[in-house]
């Protein structure tokens, strides 16, 4: 079987990040990172006793050997399998080679679902229609829209324009039933992705609200035990200098595979109780501006340090100021915040990261946009 083309790999990564959310991150292959066992344990919610209390507060030096991107079979929740090789403590750390990757033409538009959404009713998609959908044929008020989900299963929707609104009608109810949006809707969103500018077919993904995947809800206890055993085994392998693979769910916790220099810089800083800090809310340059017109997400979350722990993982406790959207969890890592030296302009324009970032800011443990 031929290896995937570089452009396809780039697209796969961009699609995965679009579904994972703005705080998600993926390290680069061959990157020098730390693996934090307690951070891995944080994804094993429900373990008794809590797994993170049983693991040493270590930061294991590793090199990223491979990354495989996946989606849960029913809910399309993204996750990644990251293979790590422990590094010797006294290794010669050479400067990282900056690789310039070609930006993909992919663009996407987000459509949030509400708890009161009726899956049987048409969904309004005006912002998507105006930004990335094909223009309706002259003199017609509807057209078929062909799409595939992240597993490449085909769907056909009818895109209708009536009374000044663009809607998806035929096909939408069936799609919602397949993806179980009618079970849990809290902060769920549909991601409409146009892979290339001249391509008529679309990818339709899901950005799930934070929390455990519905795919494992039917066997909650068994899967918690399995995840707990996997995290404990990974920590043991790292301590024993053996290569190991971890599973990262970007919607379930802070990333626990972190660029080494970033973590070192954050942990070396002399954090003090009472310091004003802020956390940047990143913007994915692939997301079209029309997708964020009614978005109330701020440029930064602002807060005050209330506690400094003697720990590598989740060193800081922060009291966040009220925000128009749910704030991150109050327990954060030292490399995730910066001092609030001056107030930011209220402008909604934000600096964008490279098209395929290898070290974007990380996600919240409990509340992820």
| pLDDT per residue as tens digits for the range 244-265 | 999 998 888 889 999 999 999 9
Does residue 233 register a pLDDT over 80? no
Q: When comparing pLDDT for 361 and 11, which is higher?
A: 11
pLDDT at 343: 46
Q: Alpha carbon 211 to chain centroid distance?
A: 12
Residue 133 placed within a domain: yes
CATH of the domain at 170: 2.40.330.10
Assigned domain for 185 exists: yes
Domain count, the chain: 1
Residue 132: inside a domain, yes or no?
yes
Predicted confidence at residue 303, as pLDDT, reads 95
Residue 361 lies in a domain: no
Residue 244 located in a structural domain: no
Task: Summarize the confidence of residues 168-189 as an average pLDDT.
Answer: 76
So what's the pLDDT on residue 325? 76
From 10-19, 166-175, 213-222, 229-238, the region with the lowest mean pLDDT: 213-222
Positive or negative torsion for Cα 347, 348, 353, 359: positive
Mean pLDDT of 10-35: 89
Range of the domain at 115: 107-207
Of all residues in the chain, the percent with pLDDT exceeding 70 is 70
Q: What is the pLDDT of residue 4?
A: 52
pLDDT, the chain, mean: 77
Q: What is the pLDDT of residues 196-225, one digit of tens each?
A: 766 667 899 998 876 655 554 444 444 555
pLDDT band at 33 (very low <50, low <70, confident <90, very high): very high
Give a yes or no: residue 72 inside a domain: no
In a domain, 127, yes or no: yes
In a domain, 148, yes or no: yes
Pairing outcome for strands 202-207 and 142-149: parallel
Rounded CA separation 167/130 (Å): 12
Q: What's the whole-number mean pLDDT along residues 134-156?
A: 89
């Amino acid at each position: 079987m031929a290896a995937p083309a570089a452009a396809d790999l780039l697209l796969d990564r961009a699609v995965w990040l679009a579904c994972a959310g703005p705080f998600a991150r993926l390290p680069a292959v061959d990157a020098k990172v730390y693996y934090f066992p307690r951070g891995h344990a944080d994804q094993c919610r429900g373990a008794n006793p809590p797994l993170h209390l049983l693991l040493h507060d270590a930061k294991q030096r590793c090199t990223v050997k491979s990354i495989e991107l996946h989606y849960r079979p029913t809910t399309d929740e993204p996750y990644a399998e990251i293979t790590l090789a422990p590094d010797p403590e006294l290794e010669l750390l050479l400067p990282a080679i900056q690789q310039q990757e070609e930006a993909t033409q992919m663009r996407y538009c987000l459509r949030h679902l509400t708890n009161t959404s009726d899956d049987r009713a048409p969904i309004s998609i005006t912002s998507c229609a105006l930004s990335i959908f094909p223009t309706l044929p002259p003199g017609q008020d509807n057209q078929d829209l062909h799409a595939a989900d992240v597993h490449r299963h085909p769907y056909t929707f009818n895109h209708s324009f009536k009374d000044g609104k663009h809607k998806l009608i035929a096909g939408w109810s069936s799609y919602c039933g397949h993806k179980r949006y009618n079970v849990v809707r809290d902060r769920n969103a549909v991601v409409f992705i146009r892979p290339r500018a001249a391509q008529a077919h679309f990818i339709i993904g899901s950005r799930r609200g934070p929390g455990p995947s519905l795919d494992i809800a039917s066997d909650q206890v068994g899967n918690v035990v399995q995840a707990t055993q996997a995290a404990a085994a990974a920590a043991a392998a790292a301590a024993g200098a053996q290569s190991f693979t971890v599973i990262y769910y970007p919607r379930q916790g802070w990333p626990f595979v972190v660029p080494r220099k970033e973590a070192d810089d954050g942990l070396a800083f002399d954090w003090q109780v009472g310091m004003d800090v802020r956390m940047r809310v990143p913007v994915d340059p692939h997301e079209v501006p029309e997708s964020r017109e009614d978005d109330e997400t701020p440029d930064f979350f602002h807060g005050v340090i209330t506690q400094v722990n003697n720990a590598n993982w989740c060193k800081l406790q922060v009291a966040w100021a009220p925000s128009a959207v749910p704030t991150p969890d109050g327990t954060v890592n030292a490399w995730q915040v910066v001092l609030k030296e001056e107030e930011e302009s209220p402008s909604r324009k934000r600096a964008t990261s490279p098209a395929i970032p290898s070290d974007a800011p990380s996600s919240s443990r409990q509340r992820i946009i």
